[in-house]
Amino acid sequence: MSLFLEFHLIQNFAPSNLNRDDTGAPKDAVFGGYRRARVSSQCFKRATRLTIEFPAQHQGIRTKKLLELLRTQLRDQHGRQADDVDSRIETALSAAGLKLKDDGKTEYLLFLGQQEIDGFAELIHAHWDALAAPAGSEKKSKKDAKASAPAELVKQARQIMNGGKALDVALFGRMLADMPEVNQDAACQVAHAISTHRVEREFDYFTAVDDKGGADEAGAGMIGQVEFNSATFYRYAVVDPVKLESNLQGDRELTLAGLRALTLAIARAIPTGKQNTFAAHNPPSFIGVVLRHASPLNLANAFEKPVYARNGEALTGPSVSALAAYDGQLAAVYGDERDQWAYVDLSGAWPQAKGEVKPTLTALADWVVEQVRRELEQ
């Protein structure tokens, strides 16, 4: 069964610098021959997975500090403390194939479910004595640490790394270079957000006053500049619900709850870059959701020709109109008669006959759950 749940959003941000490049400037890209504002997919994915909509018990953790997490959990939840606690943890992690550097951090960022971390803590607690270093022994090499782990512990350690039903791990996937067998292919693909129109970078030259400056200190205590832009973005993401259910170990109710959470989160997600300076907390004006049955359709080419503000008109309305028109053209060729839209539209520019209008974000999320459940049960 082919089924794709797509999200199409039009979101206008006030002057801001939501996602910076290596020079501190807002990220951008040339698209359709014109420079556009850009926010990376990684930036929006992080903003999405950290919203309050994602259930904490099914949230993953991306970190190099697994040793520190386990040390704290063993002490607080299991009452385990010892001089060689780090050695015991390292031996258990080595049994699963995870390596630690000399500073105690993993060699790269891990993306683990909380259930997986809990599983390691419980495993170390259960095999506490077997993991103890013999009295007077020197620090073990990584190879020796793995070899010294009991066979039963090695078997259990490898079973822990199953994704832990973490919703964000199941949606966005993970790759562990040392353990390709526990990699997880993403069920959700997210495009870089791009502006529907041409943009130019602007600079804010600022000064700061020294509150304790003397009468002879008339100048600024500090000067500087920050780059920013203001843009109307097109955002796109697509989920394979069948793949998501597979990543969540066949848990249908968690899959549906996850799609509901994603619908709410993707609309509320706003990057944190330079928000103390700009406070650009601008939610989307248009949120369209479509269930497609033939193939996913990214509608970014609706803006290959940039949208322009004419005669005092805002950019948002023409952007939504262009999106609807391009979907009509593309769906006529590549769509499926079973495809269906639902939307929340504050711009008033989306054709009313094109899908079901929903009065609230919650109603839109409920529609997603109802439709996907029906499709999965067929």
What is the arithmetic mean of pLDDT over 160-178? 91
How far is Cα 201 from Cα 35, in angstroms, rounded to an integer?
10
CB burial string 24-50: b at 16+ within 10 A, e below: eebbbeebeeebbbbbbbebbbbbbbe
Predicted local confidence at residue 289, as pLDDT? 98
Q: What is the pTM of this model?
A: 0.92
Dist CA 285 CA 345 (whole Å): 6
Q: How distant, in Å, are the alpha carbons of 33, 46, 286 from that of 229?
A: 19, 21, 21
Mean pLDDT within 65-70: 96
Give the per-residue pLDDT at 134: 67
Give the separation between CA 324 and CA 161, rounded to whole angstroms.
43
Percent of the chain with pLDDT over 90: 78
CA distance 179 to 173: 14
Q: What is the pLDDT of residue 152?
A: 82
3-state DSSP helix/strand/coil % of the chain, to nearest 5 = 40, 20, 40
**Residue 94, helix vs strand vs coil:** helix
Confidence band (pLDDT; 50, 70, 90) for 142?
Answer: low
Average pLDDT over residues 103-108: 93
Q: What mean pLDDT comes out for the span 125-150?
A: 70
Q: What is the pLDDT of residue 144?
A: 61
State pLDDT tens for residues 40-54: 999 999 999 999 888
Q: pLDDT tens for residues 327-366?
A: 999 999 999 999 999 999 999 999 999 999 999 999 999 9
What pLDDT was estimated at residue 130?
87
Closest residue by Cα to residue 260 from 376, 342, 377, 364: 364
Per the DSSP assignment, residues forming a β-bridge with 184 are 174
Q: Does residue 137 carry a pLDDT above 80?
A: no
Number of residues in the chain: 378
Q: Is the per-residue pLDDT at 138 higher than 90?
A: no
Helices 41-49/252-268 angle, 10° precision: 120
pLDDT category, 19, cuts 50, 70, 90? very high
- Which is more confident, 264 or 157? 264
Question: How large is the average pLDDT for residues 138-166?
Answer: 75
Average pLDDT of the residues in 101-108: 92
Q: Per-residue confidence at 318, pLDDT binned at 50, 70, 90? A: very high
What pLDDT, in 10s, does the model give residues 227-269?
999 999 999 999 999 999 999 999 999 999 999 999 999 999 9
